[in-house]
Amino acid sequence: MHFSSLGLSPALLRALERQHLLTPTPIQSQAIPVILAGHDTLARAQTGSGKTLAFGLPLLHKLANEPAQLPRQVRALVLVPTRELAIQVGATLRDLANQLPQAIKISVVFGGVSINPQMLAMRGGTDVVVATPGRLLDLVHHNALHLSATQILVLDEADRLLELGFEAELNRLLALLPANRQSLFFSATFAPAVAALAESMLREPVQINIGATDQEKPDIAQKAILVDAPRRTQLLRHLISDQKWKRVLVFVATKHSAEIVADKLRKVRIYAEPFHGELSQGKRSQVLSDFKASRLKVVIATDMASRGLDIFQLPVVVNYDLPRSADDYTHRIGRTGRAGEAGLAVSFVSHDTQPHFHLIEKRHGLQVPLEVVAGFEPELIEGPANAMPEAETAPASSSGQTGSANTGGVKGKRPSKKDKLRAQAARQQN
């Protein structure tokens, strides 16, 4: 299939050709005709599947085919949960809009920076706004823009926007929009409760659910390593050195953890930086720029980095802390293995978090055997309640490969204290 078969304008097709984009992805081939036909849409597709173009192309097609309005009015609104995703979506839309014969002004607004430059940029109006909810409400409050003429509403990463943390802001924004509009909700995951809420906000939506085929699934190898929680930083250092990882995105549970882990890595001369919501926008932008350019080796991030970030050829993602929800696991590991590249996702699992990891496996239909890295064997916990299935306790070599060779362990059992001493002595002899 070619983009030309989807009903897009010749100008957009030429813009796509200039970017060497000729063949639509499954989400694009299904969503674009539905959106062009004016239907509300509830679409789910895996990370890295091309969702931005799936809603961006028909959005630009519609605006480009309408008479220009002066002063400009906000005709399309794209809501996103994070600043980084706002910047990324805005850049994608601008790259295409700049090649169209009719000028389409696209504004990107988000919090964490001064509101004054954004207000000045709104003078004369704008056609498309890509925004985080809080900053958009601030701009409305300052009369910098009005939403009464909005024809198209897009919720990108809709499941996050529909969560409790954004619900109040989202409801205030929806009240400002005209009832007669087209609404498009896109995400990689929709929990049942969120999906039901989304459907209630849409008018007879067309549902698009793109399940990846074996050929289309990201090439992501998934590993889980059993390790005591206090030794995770040491293990991370060991893996970065032993596996010669060039760039690693590490997910932790809190901003404080991001700072602490990054500091510990820097003390052993591993160039690492934290990435979380309390950093200034300038600092966050610099960290991402350095990371994408391989000037920075390790980024320690909270879940704010799990949505929408497109980091070209990112080889490794590490779950230092397991995500709180199974859906967030999908978003996290989806930062690697993008655009046909191979990737690796490693999860650190302690005895306390084993049940949660098994829940993640069950939710996603996974079977990821627990490995043990020599030198980082977890402490023994007595009692049959802590016994593990044989397949989950095969010891691992320092390279992360499962197997009992040279580990001093016995397959099907956790290494004993003597096993650990034998392994340590063997390493010292080598």
237 vs 398: CA distance, rounded Å? 12
Determine contact, residues 131/156, Cβ cutoff 8 Å. no
pLDDT reported for residue 411 = 34
Q: What is the pLDDT of residues 129-164, one digit of tens each?
A: 999 999 999 999 999 999 999 999 999 988 888 876
The verdict on domain 219-368 having CATH code 3.40.50.300 is: yes
Q: What is the pLDDT of residues 251-287, one digit of tens each?
A: 999 999 999 999 999 999 999 999 998 888 889 889 9
pLDDT reported for residue 419 = 54
Tell me the HSE value of 223 on the side-chain side, using a 13 A CA sphere: 23
Q: What is the mean pLDDT of residues 218-233?
A: 92
Q: Which CATH class is domain 3-210?
A: alpha beta
Q: What is the pTM of this model?
A: 0.69
Judged on CB neighbours under 10 Å (0-12, 13-18, 19+), 63 is buried
Q: If pLDDT is split at 50, 70 and 90, which confidence band does 106 have? A: very high
Q: What is the pLDDT of residues 356-385, one digit of tens each?
A: 999 999 988 889 999 999 999 998 554 333
User: Which helix (H) or strand (E) is 235 found in, with range?
Assistant: helix 232-242
Q: What is the pLDDT of residues 15-56, one digit of tens each?
A: 999 888 889 999 999 999 999 999 999 999 877 788 999 999
Q: For the chain, what are the domain ranges?
A: 3-210, 219-368
25 vs 49: CA distance, rounded Å? 7
Q: What is the pLDDT of residues 174-217, one digit of tens each?
A: 999 999 999 999 988 887 877 888 888 899 999 999 874 434 46
pLDDT reported for residue 280 = 87
Domains 3-210 and 219-368 share a fold: yes
Q: What is the mean pLDDT of residues 240-246?
A: 94
